[in-house]
Amino acid sequence: MENKVKLHDKTFKLFIPNEQIEKAIDAVAERLNQDYAQATDEDPVILLCTLNGAVIFAAELLKRVHFPLELKACKLSSYEGTQSTGVVKTEVPLPAHLEGKRVIIVEDIVDTGNTIVAMSQLLKERKVKDARVCTMLLKKEVYKKDVKLDYVAMEIPNRFIVGFGLDYDELGRNIKDIYVLDE
């Protein structure tokens, strides 16, 4: 574990060590296992991973959950560099055949909530039976939307972070700890 990392033109300092991230994921997985214990092979839960940032979080959840599920992916994006553009773009559309299914949206981080609102609307249009949100990180002071966040592993302040799936202009996703911009 390094105290600082440099990505492109920015330096980041250690913010959340991997051990703390893993414990938070354990707690979320435990709640998911309790809430979805009744899932069956005939009615599996859909884990809908939002690419690219949530891949690491989703992979860690997959190791820990014990109910029947299908893993699907989509990509909605509103970030460029270190800022949200406020405009949500669909880069990889939602999978087909979601009608009547229970879906858990797996997000890396929720801040403005624009992506979650857009995703929730798309799932309503697809007539899913139930949609819940599971996020690794929440910037609570920024999130002001009405969509309920059902599973939150950790709350963090409104700072720009990288690591554990999160990037700065596509670099840093493979760092196992989470780093914050060193201002």
What is the spatial distance between Cα 161 and Cα 15, in angstroms, rounded to a whole number? 8
Backbone angles phi, psi at 132, to 5 degrees: -125, 160
Residue among 111, 146, 150, 177 flagged as catalytic: 111
Q: Is 140 exposed, middle or buried (0-12, 13-18, 19+ CB in 10 A)?
A: middle
* 110 Cβ contact list (under 8 Å, min separation 6): 116, 133, 135, 137, 138, 139, 143, 149, 152
Relative orientation angle of helices 55-64 and 18-35, to the nearest 10 degrees: 60
Give yes or no for a contact between 107 and 115, defined as CB atoms under 8 angstroms apart.
yes
Q: For residue 111, indicate whether it is catalytic.
A: yes
Residues annotated as part of the active site: 111
